[in-house]
């Protein structure tokens, strides 16, 4: 199956490009961005060597759905989705932090807790918690947004003290984060899922705090199946989940955690297809619709044609 792992577009008015771990972002003029969701996959802040079929389409279409569904809570950067793998929107000045919100003790938070930590990003954690247990109320555990390498945990107080975000803007981001998470949890619950944790990124446009990037996708979020959650938790069994955590666990099981000297295990076509199927499964669960695979042939030409039509429409 065809995958898009590299892009090198040259759109009219283009004056810059940023190749991220998963997305390639093209700057157009003074005020527009073209964000291409590639089929790259990353884990432990490392871009893995093989692409995942339809991953970019899944991420982009889920993000579009949730950006539309939350625009009454906070303004966002999106203007149009001209291609299944592309979003076009306003350029915003991004804050150098990511707002991570957790409803349950799992993933990296559980690993730290199990190692003895009782505070995470300045947030005190209750004693006696178990893996996958719900917090009394969701906690916000921000990280720095590193240009390269690993993001680092940071507290609210450190963010404000270091001048990364003003206190006024941070309070807005906190409020938006809690409201967005509540909306995401409610939408997931309607589909038999639990939104466990997620991250949001914010920026400013014309002096206003704006939601940017993707939201509630399997790359930025973790979902459990609601059915069977209580029984599995009671028995101490792993939860059935839809997220990228299973990829991280596969890597851990094969001796890779992104540390120096470690080698990424072979990603066979069968493994890549299984990851693709998990992404499609989440799309269908979270949207309640069957996933329609976009044409695979000549992805680059398809994307270029659709973006050019969109930019022409926006400029005229």
Sign of CA dihedral 238, 239, 245, 247: positive
Predicted pLDDT at 2: 87
DSSP-assigned states of every residue in 26-67: EEETTTEEEEEE-S--EETTEE-SS--TTHHHHHHHHHHHHH
Residue 149's pLDDT band, with cuts at 50, 70 and 90, is: low
Cβ(241)–Cβ(222) under 8 Å?
yes
Give the rounded percent of residues in the chain with a pLDDT score beyond 90: 86
Mean pLDDT of 65-87: 97
Q: Which fold has domain 94-243?
A: D-amino Acid Aminotransferase; Chain A, domain 1 (3.30.470)
Residue 306's pLDDT band, with cuts at 50, 70 and 90, is: very high
Mean pLDDT of 207-221: 92
Mean pLDDT of 57-63: 96
Predicted pLDDT at 246: 83
Predicted pLDDT at 244: 80
Give the DSSP H or E segment for 249. helix 245-253
Mean pLDDT of 49-63: 96
Stretch(es) of the chain classified as CATH 3.30.200.20: 14-93+269-315
Stretch(es) of the chain classified as CATH 3.30.470.20: 94-243
- Tens-place pLDDT, residues 21-36: 999 999 999 999 999 9
Mean pLDDT of 157-161: 97
Residue 147's pLDDT band, with cuts at 50, 70 and 90, is: low
Mean pLDDT of 235-252: 88
Answer whether residue 174 shows pLDDT above 80: yes
Alpha carbon distance 223, 197 (integer Å): 8
The pairing of strands 208-212 and 193-205 is antiparallel
Predicted pLDDT at 218: 83
Cβ(34)–Cβ(11) under 8 Å?
yes
Cβ(123)–Cβ(71) under 8 Å?
no
The pTM of the whole model exceeds 0.85: yes
The pairing of strands 14-19 and 143-144 is unpaired
Predicted pLDDT at 199: 97
Predicted pLDDT at 252: 93
Predicted pLDDT at 150: 66
- Tens-place pLDDT, residues 89-143: 999 999 999 999 999 999 899 999 999 999 999 999 999 999 999 999 999 999 9
At 270 the three-state DSSP class reads: helix
Average predicted confidence (pLDDT) for the chain? 94
Q: Name the CATH architecture for the domain at 14-93+269-315.
A: 2-Layer Sandwich (3.30)
Answer whether residue 148 shows pLDDT above 70: no
Tell me the sheet residues that pair with 47: 42
Cβ(95)–Cβ(203) under 8 Å?
yes
Predicted pLDDT at 13: 95
Give the rounded percent of residues in the chain with a pLDDT score beyond 70: 98
Cα 128 off chain centre by: 30
């Amino acid at each position: 199956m065809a995958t898009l792992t590299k892009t090198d577009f040259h759109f009219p008015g283009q004056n810059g490009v940023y190749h991220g771990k998963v997305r390639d972002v093209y700057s157009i003029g003074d005020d527009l961005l073209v964000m291409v969701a590639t089929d790259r996959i990353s884990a432990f802040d490392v871009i893995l060597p093989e692409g995942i079929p339809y991953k970019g389409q899944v991420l982009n279409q889920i993000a579009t759905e949730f950006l539309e569904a939350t625009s009454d809570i906070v303004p966002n950067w999106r203007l149009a989705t001209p291609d299944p793998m592309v979003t076009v929107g306003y350029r915003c000045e991004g804050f150098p932090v990511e707002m991570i919100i957790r409803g349950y003790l799992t993933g990296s938070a559980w690993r730290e807790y199990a190692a003895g930590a009782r505070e995470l990003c300045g947030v005190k954690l209750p004693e006696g918690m178990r893996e996958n247990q719900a917090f009394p109320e969701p906690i916000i555990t921000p990280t720095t947004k590193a240009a390269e390498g690993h993001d680092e945990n940071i507290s609210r107080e450190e963010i404000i003290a270091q001048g990364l975000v003003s206190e006024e803007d941070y309070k807005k981001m906190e409020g938006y984060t809690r409201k967005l998470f509540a909306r995401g949890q409610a939408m997931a619950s309607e589909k038999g899922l639990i939104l466990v944790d997620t991250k949001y990124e914010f920026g400013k446009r014309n002096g206003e705090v704006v939601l940017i990037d993707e939201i509630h996708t399997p790359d930025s979020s973790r979902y459990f199946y609601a059915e069977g959650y209580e029984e599995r938790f009671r028995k101490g069994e792993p939860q059935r989940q839809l997220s990228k955590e299973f990829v991280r666990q596969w890597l851990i099981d094969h001796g890779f955690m992104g540390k120096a000297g470690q080698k990424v295990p072979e990603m066979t076509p069968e493994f890549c297809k299984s990851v693709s199927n998990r992404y499609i499964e989440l799309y269908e669960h979270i949207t309640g619709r069957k996933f329609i695979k976009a044409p695979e042939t000549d992805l680059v030409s398809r994307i270029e044609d659709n973006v050019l039509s969109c930019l022409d429409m926006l400029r005229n």
